[in-house]
Amino acid sequence: MLKKVFCITLFAVLLVSAASAKTKLIFWEFMMKDDTAKVVLEEFEALNPDIEVEFVQLSWATGFDKIVTAFAANSAPDVLELGNTWVANFANEGVLSDISSEVEKYPEIIGWNQSEYDGKTWGYPWLLGTRAMYYNIDLFIQAGLDPENPPETWAELIEAAKKIDALGDDVYGFGMGTGEPQTPWQEWFLPAVWGNNGNILSADMRTATMDSKEVIEAAKMYQELSKYSLKTKSSDLSEVFGTGKVGMWIAQAGNISKFSSTYPDMNFMVCFVPKPSHENGFHASFAGGEILTIPSSSKNKEAAKRLVEFLISTNVTMKITKRVPSIFPSTMEAGEDPWFEDHTLEYIFFEQNAMAVPAPQHPKWVDIQFKLSEAIESIVLDNTDVESTFKKYNTQIQKILDEFNN
């Protein structure tokens, strides 16, 4: 008798716990700090009582390696944040879910081109961060320039850099990122090419176009600008700009709060990245985007989509922007948020996002970007001839493309 009661109770307990079992989602991300994530995910769980989210914050120093090893060990999470330059690579390896059919559901989202590869869409643009141009107001006044009208074109930029550079041996017209794998092309050579309506790969991404007219024009401008520039790593540029020794610098929005707190006496403003001329081109900048992806190994894809839908809503992304004001929502309606009224410099970055261009979504972009950075450092650090240098690297990039295509 006792045995029977025990069995029935056990069965009932199992039945109840099975009925109330929550779907457990694993979510890996970089952008939300612990406290933000806690607030956001608690809200999600309250709205979706059948889902439980286990969240892991990745660091930029080790996150990429962790993601690679997770894919290799087939233990990827259900929702994964990826930098936009990584998406094509993982998509090409077949480890991400194709979410092309979802795009129509979100007409308010911009930046879908950041997660496209091979005619399909592999992730949801979540947060967009771009670069704009910082300039030192005091140095502008000392050099006889009008801080109300910062340079809008390449010619105006070089002219301004020249005048500021002439102020003294330890004053530099422009801050040019070198000595790191990404900064040489992100801040700012490749966006200058895009602004000049060019690119370093053809539209079908099968041909290298480093020797095209648009690229060479941008390279010559960049080499000329380098004569009046401090060429060093971005952490140094931030420090030297902060101490008031650099006139202009193209960088991320995170520096606004850094300068205000660390160098409160330095007067600076932010403007759009210069374009080739008043008549031609546009104010292109590098689009750094955070993409939410659903790895193909996930067993909870429907629940994962619900989490993503919640995370990309303006309500959530603005919460993140307010806590991490270097990255902005992927929805244009976020611009109406009253927070931007008190954060006018951040609003310039938000507007610059509309002109931001992502790096070509090629699976071999990592290889290509190393070559591109080498070419740029060659012309600005060693002052090598632009045409022959870019021709040499064009051949090397073409080799990478050919090897991939064969």
Residues 340-379: x where in contact with other proteins by CB under 8 A, - otherwise, as a string = ------------------------x-xx--x--xx--xx-
Q: What is the dihedral of CA 109, 113, 116, 118, to 10 degrees?
A: 140
169 counts as binding other proteins under rule CB under 8 A: yes
Q: How many residues touch other proteins (CB under 8 A)?
A: 39
Which of 48, 111, 62, 50 minimizes the C-alpha distance to 84? Answer: 111
The one among 95, 145, 221, 251 contacting other proteins by CB under 8 A = 95
Report the nearest approach of other proteins to the CB of residue 48 (Å). Answer: 31
Q: Rounded to an integer, what distance in angstroms lies between the CA atom of residue 358 and that of residue 284? A: 10
Cβ–Cβ contacts within 10 Å for residue 159, how many? 15
- 304, with CB counted inside 10 A (0-12, 13-18, 19+), is buried
The one among 138, 180, 211, 309 contacting other proteins by CB under 8 A = 180
Pick 106 or 370: Cβ nearer other proteins:
370
Long-range contacts of 217-222 (CB under 8 A, 24+ apart): 217/276, 218/189, 218/192, 218/193, 218/276, 219/189, 219/376, 219/379, 219/386, 219/390, 220/386, 221/154, 221/158, 221/192, 222/189, 222/192, 222/376, 222/379, 222/380
233 counts as binding other proteins under rule CB under 8 A: yes
286 counts as binding other proteins under rule CB under 8 A: no
Integer angstrom CA distances of residue 88 from 125, 136, 240:
14, 38, 36
Residues 59-88: x where in contact with other proteins by CB under 8 A, - otherwise, as a string = -----xx--x--xx----------------
Report the nearest approach of other proteins to the CB of residue 241 (Å). Answer: 10
Residues 8-47: x where in contact with other proteins by CB under 8 A, - otherwise, as a string = ----------------------------------------
Pick 396 or 398: Cβ nearer other proteins:
396
The one among 137, 332, 354, 381 contacting other proteins by CB under 8 A = 381
Report the nearest approach of other proteins to the CB of residue 272 (Å). Answer: 27
Report the nearest approach of other proteins to the CB of residue 72 (Å). Answer: 5
- 289, with CB counted inside 10 A (0-12, 13-18, 19+), is buried
Per the CB < 8 A criterion, the answer to whether 363 and 374 are in contact is: no
Report the nearest approach of other proteins to the CB of residue 239 (Å). Answer: 6
Pick 196 or 238: Cβ nearer other proteins:
238
Half-sphere exposure of 61 (CA within 13 A, CB side): 0
- Residues lying near other proteins in the complex (CB under 8 A): 64-65, 68, 71-72, 89-90, 93-95, 169-170, 172, 178-181, 230-233, 235-237, 239-240, 243, 245, 364, 366-367, 370, 373-374, 377-378, 381-382, 396
